[in-house]
Amino acid sequence: MGRGLLLREGDTVWRVKNAERLAFLVDGAAYYRALAAALTQARRSVLIAAWEIDDHASLDPLGQNPERPPRLGDAFRACLSARPSLNVHVLAWDFAMIYAVERGLQPLFRLRFSTGRRLHLELDAHHPVGASHHQKLVVLDDRVAFLGGLDLTQHRWDRPAHTADEPGRVDDDENPYPPFHDVQVAVQGDAAAAVAELFRERWAIATGDRLDQDDSDGDPPWPDGLEPDVENVEVALARTQPRHEGREEVREVERLYLDAIASARRSIYVENQYLTSARVVGALCERLGDRDGPEVVLVLPRRCPGWLEQRTVGLLRRRRLQQLREADRGGRLRVVFPEVPGVDDGVFVHAKVMVVDNTLARVGSANLSNRSMGFDTELDLALASDGDARVARVISGFRNRLLAEHLESDPETVAQVVEGSGGSLAAALDRLSSASESGRTLRPLDEPPLESGWEEALEIGQDLADPESPERPERLLTSFLARDLPRAARTPWLKAAAVAALLAILAGVWRFTPLTDWLTADRLARAITAIQAAPLTPVGIIAFYVVASVLFVPVTLLIVATSLVFEPLEALAFALAGALSASVATFGLGRLLGRSFVQKAAGRRLNEVSRRIARRGLLAVAALRLVPIAPFTLVNLVAGASHVGLRDFTLGTLLGLAPGVLGIVLLEASLEHLIREPGLGTLLSVVAIVGILVVAFALLRRLTAKPKT
């Protein structure tokens, strides 16, 4: 298949447009250098859509071009000062409040208030609950566009060598971060104008205002020194757009993936941060099962970052890899990660790239995840050869360049080895990997298969962490309240033991390792310690819980942090008082905001949820606390906007929270004592606490269960 068959407007792609120039920008250093150069040439407009943006992002951490500002915010200020007619429009994802803890609001405030009136910053919250705007694009004067997997933020800059001691790979506080690999693409011409059109559509939806099309004349702001990989070629743009507020669902990204996989004859080369899409993996399995199917080379991160991701999408990835290996009966599958000497987990692969034979290359923001196929907002660019030998050479050259980077080789050598292997990409990879002397190579990603018994947990994890279509929070609540408790909870001893074991694990993990890279019990504990040193400690703790709850910080994490700072009895009192106060405060907030506002978060079926809570009152609230299948703050808001009374809500919350708070406090203290003074006695005390909690949860489960009729 060529462009005419693969790139179909209104089906697999949104637009097919001419690109006067196109350049693949591999890794953050190349992209940031090109963007910094292009910004100095923009005359009228700079349009930026971002999943994340930080004005302190370093465009040139090594100071290689002293004539240009090293930081993004300074670059904005410089180009706005030099060009009185220039306006910068930034549309950033209005991330969920819990992400405010990770990402901070300061970068957005700095952008808004330090760059003058001609930088227009808006947050885009027009997406389904739980979804995100994941596109990463920049358009200058409607004539040059950058798009791909790289946001303008920290922890992204790196050079192709990806050395362990890269001096420029540090954050704003001069702390080093691991090697990072990603790809962006630059285009000039009608293709860039199409990206600008997409941005303006999103801006109008987010703000209600329509931006005028830019009609700048003169030379296009193509970056000085950037040599295009190809000129005068047609490219296509593919989108993912979830169904929301009357807008139709768009799944061009997924359809192009499926058609490209079906079209492959010799090889499919993929670099991607995730591998959880059921449909994409199913299509790959089908081709691996074909007798004359293509080889499949997957370059992935060695592991998902963070404790939480490893136990959600990380488990989903293991299942998908298991499916692929079971389908690979001809030995045509290679799953690898980039290994670098001195770095335990190798290079973190954040790229979203696919190259099929020498017929198609695509770069964009879409991961091979369910979310990217129908839940989040994405944008990919595709280049197809359509029988054009010139474009075919560019496509295969791009793939060889990526392989050469990972294998510490050069594109010419990779091309020769592929040709010498009879065109087999897998055989060439095997030869080049074994030839590495420095240790820089592509190493097989060997993950053990999942054992039986994970199926239900994986389904829940997929629905929560990686849904393929918009899912609203009230579906969890309604499902729970319709059946009272999940099926697993109908066996009270099993559920109680599972809850107690989970508390023990969380207490240990949150005490001695970070739960994620950004929100940890230690960080919260430091904040609570600062409050402890101030007068009126109880008031400060309660206020801290209330504010954190409004920001959707998990209440379990707050309780763990409290148990780290205070002695057990104090921790129990403060945690209960804080959690209860936070519950009442956000309950009141839900009542103050009213049903129409909360319905936007809880969905159309709020009435049914409200009736069920009101009918069972205290026991329904207690049951929700015992088995917290919905976020703590969301339950409070929905309860406040429903018909449940404050007395029933408060007593139900206290009844449901008390066992968990007591369990966390006691387990944290016991586990800490066990690690400080290991021995049989302390171990038995932990076991005894778990046993007591099992009994307590079983009794409370019976108390809150719906009476038989």
Instruction: In whole angstroms, give the CA distance from residue 407 to residue 559.
Output: 47
* C-alpha 319: how far from chain center: 19
Q: Are residues 222 and 331 in the same domain?
A: no
* C-alpha 676: how far from chain center: 37
What's the number of domains the chain is made of?
3
Exposed, middle or buried: residue 676 (CB in 10 Å: 0-12, 13-18, 19+)? exposed
The CA-based diameter of the chain, rounded to the nearest angstrom, is 80
Domain that holds residue 105: 21-236
Q: Are residues 193 and 50 in the same domain?
A: yes
Instruction: In whole angstroms, give the CA distance from residue 428 to residue 422.
Output: 9
Q: Are residues 289 and 366 in the same domain?
A: yes
Look up residue 176 and give its two tokens: 């080093």
Q: Are residues 221 and 305 in the same domain?
A: no
In a domain, 452, yes or no: no
CB neighbours of 451 closer than 8 A, spacing ≥ 6?
none
Alpha helices (H) in 335-424, listed in sequence order:
370-374, 389-407, 411-420
Look up residue 75 and give its two tokens: 């670059």
Q: Are residues 222 and 255 in the same domain?
A: no
Contact between residue 634 and residue 601 where contact means Cβ atoms under 8 Å apart: yes
Q: Are residues 232 and 353 in the same domain?
A: no
Q: Are residues 396 and 295 in the same domain?
A: yes
User: From the CB of residue 167, how many other CB atoms can be counted at a distance below 10 Å?
Assistant: 9
Look up residue 407 and give its two tokens: 């294998």
Q: DSSP 3-state assignment of 202?
A: helix
pLDDT < 70 positions in the chain: 1-4, 95-116, 306-312, 451-465, 470-537, 551-552, 593-635, 638, 641-644, 667-709
In a domain, 462, yes or no: no
For the chain, the first-to-last Cα distance in angstroms comes to 63
In a domain, 342, yes or no: yes
- Name the DSSP letter for residue 450: P
In a domain, 28, yes or no: yes
- Nearest-10 crossing angle of helices 595-602, 632-641: 140
Three-state SS across 575-593? HHHHHHHHHHHHHHHHHHH
Last residue of a domain, one of 236, 264, 282: 236
Q: Are residues 676 and 535 in the same domain?
A: yes
Here the CATH number for the domain that contains residue 364 is 3.30.870.10
pLDDT of residue 410: 94
pLDDT of residue 450: 73
Q: Are residues 574 and 687 in the same domain?
A: yes
Q: DSSP 3-state assignment of 275?
A: strand
pLDDT of residue 664: 73
Tokens 């171990």 locate to 683
* CA distances for 474 relative to 368, 470, 478, 479, 551, angstroms: 27, 12, 6, 8, 19
Last residue of a domain, one of 196, 217, 236: 236
pLDDT of residue 486: 40
pLDDT of residue 396: 97
pLDDT of residue 108: 53
pLDDT of residue 432: 92
Q: DSSP 3-state assignment of 116?
A: coil
In a domain, 257, yes or no: yes
Contact between residue 181 and residue 338 where contact means Cβ atoms under 8 Å apart: yes
In a domain, 449, yes or no: no
Q: Are residues 34 and 110 in the same domain?
A: yes
pLDDT of residue 631: 60
In a domain, 671, yes or no: yes
Instruction: In whole angstroms, give the CA distance from residue 19 to residue 232.
Output: 5
Q: What single-letter amino acid sits at 364?
A: G
Last residue of a domain, one of 424, 444, 464: 444
Q: Are residues 131 and 28 in the same domain?
A: yes
Instruction: In whole angstroms, give the CA distance from residue 4 to residue 75.
Output: 41
Strands 348-349 and 352-356: unpaired
Q: Are residues 430 and 568 in the same domain?
A: no
In a domain, 466, yes or no: no
* CA distances for 319 relative to 72, 449, 457, 462, 469, angstroms: 40, 7, 12, 11, 20
